[in-house]
Amino acid sequence: MASPRMIFVNLPVGDLERSKAFYSALGARNEPKFSNEQAAMMVFSDTISVMLLTHPFYSTFTGKRIADAHSTSEVLLCISCDSPAEVDRMVEAAAANGGTADPGPKQDMGGMMYGRSFEDPDGHHWEPMWMDAKAADEGASAFETADATADRH
């Protein structure tokens, strides 16, 4: 059986130490084996890591200009949480550690899904999200049913 796929989100950062402290406050742990003065690996789980790369180091991987995530949307990074309370804790931790809380709209779908958003100090947009296991099993149809029910009330 194949190993589960892993994802390494590579983010350009202006201040590596500030970004390491920010992601640590969100619950990620630094992996020293893959960290130095140019980059830091921040591990959220066995399958999700964020690679924080200084601008000069990030530039060695692309010839494109680095986006200013404060003024340009580059990507929306969604990360699962175990409960709505964990979503709130992550957003509150982000705001308390140099990030911005709720730059996007809150997602509250009546006990089926709950999500909020935050930006890190470099403007990267994250969306912590919780979804009810039953709704996740049903997929999009669970939300279509909920929307139809809401429209009738």
Higher pLDDT, 135 or 116: 116
Last residue of a domain, one of 43, 62, 81: 62
Higher pLDDT, 151 or 61: 61
Band of pLDDT at residue 137, cut at 50, 70 and 90: confident
Handedness of CA 84, 48, 20, 29 (dihedral sign): positive
Q: Is residue 68, in this structure, part of any structural domain at all?
A: no
Q: Is residue 48 within a helix (H) or strand (E), and if so which, with residue range? A: strand 48-54
Write out the two tokens for 7.
């994802």
Q: Is residue 147, in this structure, part of any structural domain at all?
A: yes
Alpha helix (H) residue ranges in 11-139: 16-25, 55-58, 84-96, 133-138
Query: Phi/psi zone of residue 69: left (φ > 0), alpha (ψ -120 to 50 degrees), beta?
Result: alpha
Last residue of a domain, one of 10, 37, 62: 62
CATH number at residue 77: 3.10.180.10
- Convert the pLDDT of each residue in 92-126 to its tens digit: 999 999 999 999 999 998 889 999 999 999 999 99
**Domain enclosing residue 150, as ranges:** 73-153
88 & 141 share domain: yes
What percent of the chain shows pLDDT beyond 90? 79
Q: Is residue 67, in this structure, part of any structural domain at all?
A: no
Query: Helix, strand, or coil here: 103?
Result: coil
Count CB neighbours of 71 within 10 A.
7
35 & 78 share domain: no
CA distances 92 to 12, 116, 124, 126, 136, Å, are: 23, 10, 16, 13, 25
78 & 107 share domain: yes
Closest to 129 (Cα-Cα) out of 92, 91, 98 = 91
Q: How many CA atoms within 13 Å lie on the side-chain side of 148?
A: 6
Report the pLDDT value the prediction gives residue 21, as an integer from 0 to 100: 98
52 & 90 share domain: no
57 & 80 share domain: no
Q: How many domains does the chain have?
A: 2
